[in-house]
Structure 1
Amino acid sequence: MTGADRFGGVLAGGVVRVGLAMVAGAVVGLCGYAISRAGGVLLFTVIGALAGALVAVGLNAYRRSARLTEVKVTVPQVSELTFVVNNDARQVAWQLFIESVTRVSAQRLDNEDGLLRESLTSLHGLFATTRETLKVSRPSTHVSAGLTVECLAVNFLNLELRPFLSRWHPRLSAFEQSAPDSPEEDWPLAAECRDDLRRLQRNARQYVLAFARLAGVRDAEEMLDASAANPVPAPTPSVTRPRDPAGS
């Protein structure tokens, strides 16, 4: 086939498509004209049919967004639980996953790495952000067969973050005030605090994975492990010390 033949075939195909589009447009135009000229029973029948179609589309979209799905997750101190989620709950779980996975709560801090003050400040920020996310989100649909993502998040705050911050924030602040020019290594409780932080991180990792599972995130463990193995270096910021532990 020559180039001219191919060009002719493409042109003919284009003409056919344009012709079909014109016919379809003409049919739609005639239907619209007929409806505009209709009266009595026919007009109300057409309007009712259109209204019914719109209601059906709206109900279908609502059912898809409100449909509940059961998800089983395992979290520290609670064992395996069944949660029920819809699209709104998945969005909340996704926000909590992103907030948690990017903070020190999910990243191991070795004895020679980082500063405890920065870690406590990051955890304090996670507490405040998680609480704010729950405040601005809509409550999950009431269910009798399972728990909600809000329940998981509140357990994370009250069983993990709050006890840790309430214990270590005042102790570290007292040391900083008594020895403002001393490095953290001179704090007698530094090693104990780091041990407790590692325990918190182990438990927090399970909550982060639970948020990921509720949100439908794939390969969440690989994301955590890759982030821990290849941390992105960042400049050390000036640290603002929170006034109250756990934002209370």
Structure 2
Amino acid sequence: MTELNGYAATDRCSRLMKARKIEALLGCDVAGRDLLDLGAGAGFLADHFLARGASVTAADRDAKAYRGKVPLTPIEGETLPFADVQFDIVIFNHVIEHVGDASRQRAILSEIRRVLRPGGRLYIAVPNKWALIEPHFRLPLLGALPRRAADYLVRHFRKAAGYDCYPLTRAELAALLAEYFPALEDRTSDALSWVVNNELSPLPRRILSLVPDWLKAAAKPIYPTFVVLCRMEASRIGDRGDNARAVVDPHHRVNVP
């Protein structure tokens, strides 16, 4: 079971397994690349990519859980203390839901776009608003409830101040990312396949292999987590493209007006 310190997962084994999955889904060699682990948490993802030869910068606004080897860069709000076009890769793993509402999410995505180089990649994973069990407070359908109802349940059952997460639906995520990135590659199914092949024992792996592709595709809107790989233009001439479109995997193409 992954231990949470605030919202930072601090179980080293699970974090290193997550890092292996992220590296596989990035689809590129990280060695020699400038990589930003944004919302670094305990720092284990940053340590993994450092060991793989990347030049790693770890950044977070909360240093209490951090125990990584890479020096932590503190951040405040949604402004990133980095130069324009500084990074080849940004890892943003289960962080955007903690940034705040849609306006703050847009602000941090704009900053990520600013610091990415031409041809750079953003890996982003986000919990599904319609997840049957909300991953942070472990309450059913919490993310889909009106904010006042979610706040009440969190205060009543989890004795916390309120529900401070902003998960997204698949359509909301695609529309939001398309405002800032010209190409979005939906890697959710690939992430699930990686978990099945690398983390499950043979029996559940065999059972899941029997699920037909059409059923997997139909179930995608209710997957617990969405994973998207965003790619920058090969050239950064001009500011963000207002005509950007979301290009999702060949089996599930989505055009965002």
Range of TM-score over shorter length: under 0.3
The TM-score normalised by the length of structure 1 is: 0.21
Q: Quick check: which one's helix share is greater?
A: 1
Which is higher, the Rg of structure 1 or of structure 2?
Answer: 1
Q: Quick check: which one's strand share is greater?
A: 2
The TM-score normalised by the length of structure 2 is: 0.21
The one of the two structures with greater contact order (alpha-carbon pairs below 8 A, sep at least 6) is 1
